[in-house]
Each structure stands twice: as C-alpha cells, then as structure tokens.
Amino acid sequence: MTEVEHRQPRSEFLRLFAYVRPHAPVFVLAVLLTALVGGLETVVTALVIPLVDGLKSASSDSLALGPAGSTGLTGFIRGLFPAGAAYWPMLAGTLVAITLVKGLSEYASNMLMTSTGLKVVTRLRRQLYEHILRQSPVFFQKYPSSSLLAHLANDTDKVQLGVSYLVADLLREGFTFLGILAFVFILNWKLTLVFLALGPIVYFVTVRLGRRLRHRSNAALRDTEDLYGTAQEAITGIAIVKAFGAEGFESRRFSRAAEQLARSQYRAAVVNFLSSPLLELIGMIAIALFLLYAQSIVASSEMSAGALVGWVVAVFRLYDPVRRLSRVQNQYQQAFAASTRIFSILDTQTEQTDPPGAQDLKPFASRIEFRDVTFRYPDGDRDVLHRVNLTIDRGEVVALVGHSGAGKSTMANLMLRLHDATGGQLLVDGVDVRTATLESLRRQVALVSQETILFNDSVLANIAYGADEPDADAVRQSAVVAYADGFIEERPDGYSTAIGERGMRLSGGQRQRLAIARAVLKNAPILVLDEATSALDTHSEREVQQALANLMEGRTSLVIAHRLSTVQRADKIVVLDGGRVVEQGRHEDLLERNGLYRALYEMQFDDTPSVRDPVPAVNDP
C-alpha cells in the first residue's frame, strides 16, 4: 500500500474539519437546524398514531379509544388533538405546519452548510496552490503538473462535497435516526431490542465496504491523474504530435487511460452500490420476524392499532436514514481519500526556507563569491558541483561554459537559491545566502532563461509580471531597451495584445525579447542568463543579443551558453568539466592554453559539419 493509504482516517478527519473552526457559528447554526429537521421527521412519524386511531374510531361518536394503549407516549400524542369536530382539521393543519417548518429548516441548513463548504474548500485550494508555488524544482520532478492539477481541481471538489453536502446529510439522517429510534423504544422497547439485534451485522457490512471503497477510490483518483497527464502532454506538445503524424497513437494512449479510469470507477461503484441492497435485505428480514410476532401483540392489547402501525411505520422510516447513512459513509471515504492526497502534498516541503533570524540582504554592492561550493541532489550518487571557487565582481560579465551536465545551470540555480549548496558557501557581499531571506535575495536577481515562460495574457501584463498595477510608461521604456517596442506597436492592439498560451502567437525571438523586457523592468543588479539564445536562429539571435547588451549594461551578469560566439567578450570565462572548474580567464588567454575551452571552440567553429555533408549510418564500420 502507498503512504497515502496508511494514513489514519480519524486524524485526517480532524485535520480537515479544523478548516471549519473559523466558521463555527454558522456551522453550529446549521447543525441546530439539522437537528430540528431530524426531530420534526420523528414528529411526522409519530402523528401516524392519532391518524390511524382516528380512522378506526371514525364510525363512533367519540374518537377516544379504550384504556388499552392510552397511557404513556401514545396517550400523550392523542391528547394533543381533542375529540370532536376540530380533531381532523387540527391534525391536518399540524401536518402542514410541521412540513413547512421542516422544509424551511432543511433549506436554511443546506445553504449554510454549502456556504461553509465553499469557504473551506476555497481556503484549502488557495493554501494548496500557494504551497505548490513555494516548492523547489525537486518537488516538480516528483509530482508532474497533471497530478498537481488533479489535486487542485478534482480532489478539492470531492472535499467540498464532503464538507458541504455530506455533512448536511450525515447530520440530518443521524438526527432522524436517533429521534425515530427513541420513538420506537418508547412505544415498545422489547420489540425494538429484537429489531436492533441485527445492528452488529449492519455495522460490519458498512465498515467493511467503506474500507474497500476507500482503497478503490484512491486507485480511481490515481487513474484520473494519469488521464490528465496523457491529455496534457499531447495538447502541450501538439506540434510534435502533428509533425510525427501521431494523432492516432495519442488517441490510443488516451483511450487506454480512459478505459483504465472507467474500470477503476466501476470497481468503486460495485462496492458503493452494494451496501444499499444488503442493508435493505437485512432490514426486511427484521421486519418479517416482527410481523410474525405482531398478531400476538394486538391480541393481548399490549399496543393499540395506531401505536402498532406507528411502530411499524417508524421502523420502516428508520431504515431510510440507515441506508442513506451507509451511502454517505461511502461518499465520505472518497472525500477522505481526496483529502489525504491533498494533505500529503501540503506535508511535502522541498523549498529552501528562511532560517531563524534571517536578515534581508542589503542592495548588492561589491562581489559574489562561490567558496568551495559543492552540490549533490538528495537522491544523487555523485557531486554535481565539487569545490567550486569563483569570484564575480560588481559589473563583471562572467560566462560559464562546458559540456552538457558540467554543472552550469546548477550554479545559476544556487544563485537563485532554488537549491542550497551541500558544501561550502555562496556569498553575496560577504553574506552567506543561506542566512538571508529568500525574498531579499531573489529581489536582486533577474533571470532570462532558455525556455521563455510567458503567460496567456497581454503583452503589458507579461512584461510587468508580478505587478498588480503596472506602470505603462515603464513597461514601454523596458520594451524599447529590449528592442521589443517595434513589433509590439505593429500589432493592432499594441501592448494590450493577447499573446496566447506560452506566447504561442509570437516568434521565438519576440518571446525572448519580451522576457528581456521583463528583466529590464525588474531592474535587478544581478543578472542570470541561462542559455538565453541557444534556441534561436541567427537573425533572431542577433536581435536578442542587441537587447541583451542593453540589459547587461551596468549589471553583474552570470551567462550560461553553449554557443561560444556569444561569450567571447565576457570579462571572465569559467570552464566547467564534471562539476569542477578546470579553466578560467579571457577568451584569447584560454585559446592559447590549448585546454578544454580551445577544444570546445574548435569543435564549434572548425569541425562543424555542413548540412550537405553525408552522415554515416549507425551501423557503418
């Protein structure tokens, strides 16, 4: 079993309903109204006694029965309706009045419960989303986006169902059950004890099926994640799907995921719908046994006809809340399975946190220093960086080069504290970044990455990302610096142009220049360029390089690039190999050393094959 399935339902229940505590007054009022509904259900059932006794005595002058059955609860109920002409109008009016009050109370209770449930799930959904946003890249490697979307949408919906409707059903049916149970006990406790002898069987069936349903609901939720993941991958990668003619392949993948989900949901439904007929059969066996005993009760005048019919009706009514409570319990198992999955995410913490006493970094003034920095991923078996030493003075442009996997991007991630060094120190103006607040560090660093992340919003909103009230003039100035103002103004809506999901309505160079404009507007003193032009063609790269030159002016820049042509003018080039610094210096100096940098340079500029050169087959000798 998974870790999620090992969690205790009781602890999850208490944790979930801790979210209800801020809304306790409204919740308590809803509970009281629900209790009133349950009590009135019992009263309506009790009115069967004067109804039946009145019909039996309708042929006589008096509606009063003989002494048998006229004492206790039966006599009290009949005494509420005086004999005579007013008997039937009063009884009919009472039934209408009770039904009206019960309906209004049930409506008010349901609305209050729904209001509470919506507030609870909104808070839970917001907390879950904020928690996800504050996680490190390691977290997103463990949880794919489709899984997180399933938690935010599907799981929280099930929790809302549990807090809103299921709580209302549980309380209403629970109070109805207790009220009717008390009623039948008072009418004839001996008969009721015989009837309740089947209680342990009912409990066993309910609990056993509930546990099995919880397990199968977890499986269905996991299959829902898989379905979301399959669809999301195909939709986000639609260009590749079409380029390879893989529409049929993706359709078959989705069909398999959909069929697996249907099987899981069907298995859960088998358990969910089995409880009701089983409980109905158990209840009918109990009633059949009672009918065999009922004749002797009436013959001995132990109960009046109205009391006996009232007891029978109450027992039948008692079955309804039991059956509904069984269904509610099954639905609760699904809600708790969803809440357990949500809490497992909330209990996962991978983001670096501010230590006690963390101080804000002062504005960057002098230097950045990697001092014997070592880094290894938590589940890794080797160092990604090993005893790296590097000093970057204010205003310098330092380039990191090396083969893929050499550790270049890891150094950029350490700069942003997406990870923390496992050895050594990363210092900014002599302050270890692990002792500074995350917010103050990231406020001083701007990032332009290889994968340009834009949002389905306007040009203005993307450049001013993170600003609730963007300054249009500042946005325009940033776009001018980034050589983006020209193509923006060419569009009919200018800066109000919607750019589509991930900026798909723009070219690669245009997207990159918007990202540069965003970094210009942030105006951070430290700049990290992570493969910022590697995915562009020559023409687009030239335009972006001009924008980057404007962006880097007056800033301390850490540049990561595979194309060595983009870093030849750097103040310092640092060559990484296997997580170690093997060379550093200016472009001309490194070429003269005949080391790894020269080998990388010659590989790119001297031995680059032409697109017309034949490529040997894989199996050529």
In sequence order, the 6+-apart residues with CB closer than 8 A to the CB of 454 are 462, 499, 502, 503, 506, 511, 514, 515
Could you report the per-residue pLDDT of 562-610, keeping only the tens digit for each? 777 778 888 999 999 999 999 999 999 999 898 998 888 888 766 444 3
Question: CATH second-level architecture of 4-346?
Answer: Up-down Bundle (1.20)
pTM > 0.85: no
Determine the pLDDT at residue 615.
40
* Amino acid, single-letter form, for residue 269: A
* Bridge partners of residue 441, in order along the sequence: none
Question: 167: buried, middle or exposed (CB in 10 Å: 19+, 13-18, 0-12)?
Answer: buried
Q: Which amino acid is at 361?
A: L
Handedness of CA 309, 311, 317, 323 (dihedral sign): negative
Residue closest to 304 by CA, chosen among 73, 9, 31 = 73
Ranges in the chain, pLDDT < 70: 1-13, 53-76, 78-79, 82-85, 198-199, 202-203, 206, 239-240, 242-244, 287, 290-292, 294-302, 304-305, 323, 326, 330, 532-541, 605-621
CB 316, CB 287: distance < 8 Å: yes
Q: What pLDDT is recorded for position 44? A: 85
Q: Residues 569, 557: contact at Cβ < 8 Å?
A: no
Q: What is the pLDDT of residue 56?
A: 60
The whole-number pLDDT of residue 243 equals 62
The pairing of beta strand 580-585 with beta strand 423-428: unpaired
| 545: number of Cβ within 10 Å | 15
4-346 and 454-523 share one fold:
no
Rounded to an integer, what distance in angstroms lies between the CA atom of residue 31 and that of residue 166?
A: 13
pLDDT of residue 108: 93
| Distance set, CA 352 to CA 120, 139, 230 (Å) | 28, 12, 31
Architecture of the CATH domain 454-523:
3-Layer(aba) Sandwich (3.40)
pLDDT of 610 reads: 39
pLDDT of residue 73: 62
For residue 20, count other CB atoms closer than 10 A to its CB: 16
Give residue 136's pLDDT: 78
CB 218 within 8 A of CB 5: yes
State pLDDT tens for residues 375-401.
998 777 889 999 999 999 999 999 999
Residue ranges covered by each domain of the chain: 4-346, 454-523
